Structure 1
Amino acid sequence: MNTKLTLSLDDRIIKQAKEFAKQRNKSLSKLIEDYLAGISSKMPPNEQNLPPITRKLAGILKGKKEINLKNDISNFLEKKYK
């Protein structure tokens, strides 16, 4: 259910927020709704600001204590081209 909310904000802030929303192809209402949902969620603070796709991927490397990207890529390529 949607409920109308009236806010009193500085005109300059409103103008900037509308432009920000327009650049993201969102309405100002949707932008504010997303923001409020994000800050009021019950997610742990370290995951709170992650985009949904990043949250889905979080934890897929559990159990791997240290990541050496250069070494991991090198090992992958050696196995692939043997």
Structure 2
Amino acid sequence: MNTKLTLSLDDKIIKQAKEFAKQRNKSLSKLIEDYLGGISSKIPSNEENLPPVTKKLAGILKGKKEIDIKNDIAHFLEKKYK
């Protein structure tokens, strides 16, 4: 379903964008739709799209009822430097 969208842009930008779209045999609407579709598809929407570091950290606090950062850091450092 298509929905109308009104944008306010500088005249010079609109002229350049129309010329750009014309050179590619596309309408300005299609050009903008393709652009917005491309950038929105790069937004991580689930765990599969997360960076490796974030995936590794995901879920590490499951089951913890309370989080005591100072105590957890102290415990970590004690273990690390024993």
Q: Which runs of 5+ in 1 are unaligned?
A: 45-82
Q: Percent identity?
A: 93
Counterparts of 2:11 and 2:35, CA distance in 1? 19
Counterparts of 2:8 and 2:19, CA distance in 1? 18
Which runs of structure 1 show a deviation greater than 4 angstroms over 4 or more consecutive aligned residues? none
Q: Which residue in 2 is equivalent to 1:26? A: 26
Once the two structures are TM-superposed, the CA of residue 2 in structure 1 deviates from its matched residue by 0.0
SS at match of 1:31: helix
Q: Which runs of 5+ in 2 are unaligned?
A: 45-82
TM-align CA RMSD? 1.5
The one-letter code sitting in structure 2 at the alignment partner of 1:14 is I
TM-score (norm 1): 0.51
TM-score (norm 2): 0.51
